[in-house]
Amino acid sequence: MSIISTTILLVLVMNPLGNLPVFLSTLKPVDPKRHTKIILRETFFAYLVIMTFMLFGEFFLSSFHISEQAVGIAGGIIMFIIAIRMIFPEDKNKLDNPQTSEPFFVPLALPMTAGPAALTTVMLLSSQHPDQKIIWAIVITIASTMVGIILLSGRYLSKWLGEKGLIAIERLSGMMITAMAVEMFLSGINAYFMLN
């Protein structure tokens, strides 16, 4: 995959537009003057978590004797489930424990931004191409910056796109990730059975 396509994939699986309603709802009780600082901090935390998975993903896989093919197949399944939830989501605004104070690390950084799909994606990339960690680090940095910009523009995007617009974009992202998930799954199957 190229840097551009990988960056787009990572932005899609981090799903900033789909997470906007949750971010806005979580930050509602907090002083608006602190919103920018909180979003920057939580995005940076998510960046550190994703970067850690990229750097040590290969070590993790070798420690548990997990093959690249298994990661590809599992990654495809997980991404497919994430994509289905994006297309047919639950009500994200219904929180069992509403946030009444300033959020710290959870839930905005993890699992909203650095979620299972993003962590699985970078772990898969680092295990398949361990010699390209600098490239993946650049991809993660660009993608995290783009996600941060989108989240910082959240209030304006929410007003401009409206609730239906955000939902439409999330569904479209889910469809794209579904196709990528199937491709990842099939690549893992092909590699395991050496079909190609």
How far apart CA 173 and CA 17 sit, in angstroms, is: 9
Task: Supply the pTM of this predicted model.
Answer: 0.73
Instruction: Output the pLDDT for position 104.
Output: 87
pLDDT of residue 47: 97
**CB 48, CB 118: distance < 8 Å:** no
> In whole angstroms, what is the distance from residue 172 CA to residue 26 CA?
24
The residue ranges of the chain whose pLDDT is under 50 are: 94-98
Q: 107: cis peptide before it, omega within 30°? A: yes
Parse the chain into domains and list their residue ranges: 35-93+104-193
Residues in the chain, total: 196
In sequence order, the β-bridge partners of residue 106 are 104
| Per-residue pLDDT at 108 | 87
Residue 193 corresponds to which amino acid?
A: F
Tokens describing residue 153: 């523009």
Quote the pLDDT of residue 93: 52
